Amino acid sequence: VQFHHRGYVSGEPRIEPAAGFGIDRPVELPDELDVLIVGTGPAGMIAAAQLAQFPGVNTRIVERRGGRLEIGQADGIQARSVESFNAFGFAHRIIDEAYRITHMAFWNPDPENPQNIIRISLPEDDPAHLSEWPHLIVNQARVLDYFAEFAQNSPGRITPDYGWEFLDLTVHDGPDAGERPVEVRLRRSEGTPGAGEERTVRAKYVVGCDGARSDVRRAIGRRLVGDQAMHAWGVIDVLAATDFPDIRTKAAIQSHDGGSILLIPREGGHLFRLYVDLGEVREDDGGAVRRTPVETIIERANRILHPYSVDVKSVAWHSVYEVAHRLTDKFDDVETDAEAERTPRVLIAGDACHTHSAKAGQGMNVSMQDGWNLAWKLGHVVEGRASEALLSTYSAERQVIAKNLIDFDKEWSTLMAMKPEDFDDPNYLSDWYVKTFEFPSGLMTQYTPSILTGGDEHQALASGFPVGKRFHSAGTVQASTGNPKQLGHLHRADGRWRIYVFADPAAPALAGTPTAALADWLAHDPASPLAATPVGGDDDAWFDVKVIYQQDHAEVNLNEVPAVFKPVLQPFGLTDRAKVFASGTVAGEYFDIFEERGVDRAGAIVVVRPDQYVSAVLPLTATDELAAFFAPILATSAPAAV
Ligand X SMILES: Cc1cc2nc3c(=O)[nH]c(=O)nc-3n(C[C@H](O)[C@H](O)[C@H](O)COP(=O)(O)OP(=O)(O)OC[C@H]3O[C@@H](n4cnc5c(N)ncnc54)[C@H](O)[C@@H]3O)c2cc1C
Q: List residues near ligand X by CB under 6 A.
A: 38-44, 62-65, 72-74, 76, 140, 165-166, 209-211, 215, 235, 319, 321, 350-352, 358, 361, 363-364, 367
Q: Of the candidates 372, 448, 435, 434, which has an alpha carbon nearest to the alpha carbon of residue 403?
A: 448
The option from a copy of itself, ligand X, none interacting with 40 (CB < 5 to 8 A, set by class) reads ligand X
The beta strand positions in 111-179, using DSSP E, are: 113-121, 135-137, 161-162, 164-171
| Residue among 16, 83, 237, 277 that touches a copy of itself (CB under 8 A) | 237
Is residue 270 part of the contact set for a copy of itself (CB under 8 A)? yes
Tell me the window of 97-105, 343-351, 393-401, 463-471 that interacts with a copy of itself (CB under 8 A): 97-105
Question: Does a cis peptide bond (omega within 30 degrees of 0) precede residue 55?
Answer: no
DSSP 8-state assignment for residue 184: E
Tell me the chain's radius of gyration from C-alpha atoms: 26
Three-state DSSP at 120 gives strand
Q: Is 314 in the site for a copy of itself (CB under 8 A)?
A: yes
- Nearer to ligand X by Cβ, of 83 and 210: the residue is 210
Residue 41: name its binding partner from a copy of itself, ligand X, none (Cβ under 5 to 8 Å by kind).
ligand X
Query: CA-to-CA distance for 618 and 616, rounded, in angstroms?
Result: 6
Compute the least distance from the CB of residue 249 to a copy of itself, in Å: 6
CB of 211 to ligand X, least distance (A): 3
185 versus 485: smaller Cβ distance to a copy of itself:
485
Rounded CA-CA distance 613/610 in Å is 8
Q: What is the DSSP string of 33-68?
A: EEEEEE--SHHHHHHHHHHTT-TTS-EEEEESSSS-
Q: How far apart are the first and last CA of the chain?
A: 20
Closer residue to ligand X in complex, CB, 217/385: 217
Distance (Å, rounded) from C-alpha 74 to C-alpha 42? 10
Work out how close the CB of 184 gets to ligand X at its nearest, in angstroms, rounded to a whole number.
10
Which residue stretch of 52-60, 265-273, 294-302, 626-634 sits at the interface with a copy of itself (rule: CB under 8 A)?
Answer: 265-273
Residue 39 binds which entry of a copy of itself, ligand X, none, CB below 5-8 Å type-dependent: ligand X
Q: How far is the CB of 469 from a copy of itself (least distance, A)?
A: 21
Residue 71 touches which member of a copy of itself, ligand X, none, C-beta under 5-8 Å by kind: a copy of itself
Cβ 545 vs Cβ 536: under 8 Å: no
With a CB cutoff of 8 Å and minimum separation 6, the contacts of 614 are 465, 466, 467, 468, 469, 470, 471, 606, 607, 608
Q: What string marks each residue from 13 to 32 as x (binds a copy of itself by CB under 8 A) or -?
A: xx------------------
| Nearest residue (CB) to a copy of itself, 11 versus 174 | 11
Please report which helix (H) or strand (E) contains residue 302, including its range.
helix 294-305
What is the 3-state secondary structure of 319-338? EEEEECCEECCCCECCCHHH
DSSP 562-581: -GGGS-EETTTTEEP-TTEE
Q: Which amino acid is at 248?
A: R
Q: With contacts defined by CB under 8 A, name the span among 56-64, 209-217, 269-277, 530-538 that binds a copy of itself.
A: 269-277
- Window of 323-331, 357-365, 443-451, 475-483 that interacts with a copy of itself by CB under 8 A: 475-483
265 touches a copy of itself (CB under 8 A): yes
- Asked whether position 5 contacts a copy of itself by CB under 8 A, the answer is yes
SS3 of 348-411 = ECHHHCEECCCCCCCHHHHHHHHHHHHHHHHHHHHCCCECCHHHHHHHHHHHHHHHHHHHHHHH
| Least distance between a copy of itself and beta carbon 68 (Å) | 8
Question: Which lies closer to ligand X via its Cβ, residue 15 or residue 141?
Answer: 141
Burial of 464 (0-12, 13-18, 19+ CB in 10 A): middle
Give the torsion through C-alpha atoms of 274, 279, 280, 283, to 10 deg: -100
Q: What is the pattern of x (binds a copy of itself, CB under 8 A) and - over residues 244-263?
A: -x-xxx--------------
Task: Output the CA–CA distances (angstroms, integers) from residue 75 to 84, 98, 138, 260, 485, in the order listed.
Answer: 16, 10, 5, 19, 30
* Residue 3 interacts with which of a copy of itself, ligand X, none, CB < 5 to 8 Å by class: a copy of itself
What number of other Cβ atoms are within 10 A of residue 177's Cβ? Answer: 13
- DSSP classification of residue 29: P
User: Any contact of residue 126 with a copy of itself (CB under 8 A)?
Assistant: yes
By beta-carbon proximity to ligand X, the closer residue of 211 and 562 is 211
Nearer to ligand X, 39 or 344 (CB): 39
Residue 557 contacts a copy of itself per CB under 8 A: yes
Indicate which single residue of 268, 286, 455, 639 sits in contact with a copy of itself (rule: CB under 8 A): 268
Rounded (10°) CA dihedral 246, 249, 255, 259: 140
Q: Is 118 in the site for a copy of itself (CB under 8 A)?
A: no
Which of 177, 195, 241, 288 binds a copy of itself (CB under 8 A)? It is: 241
Q: What DSSP line would sit under 585-631, residue for residue?
A: EETTEEE-HHHHTTB-TT-EEEEE-TTSBEEEEE-TT-HHHHHHHHT
Q: Which of 480, 550, 612, 623 binds a copy of itself (CB under 8 A)?
A: 480
Residue 124 makes contact with a copy of itself by CB under 8 A: yes
Binding site for a copy of itself (CB under 8 A): 1-5, 7-14, 70-71, 89, 92-93, 96-97, 99-100, 102-103, 122, 124, 126, 129, 141, 145, 237, 239-241, 243, 245, 247-249, 265-271, 313-314, 316-317, 480-484, 554, 557-559, 569, 572-578, 586-588
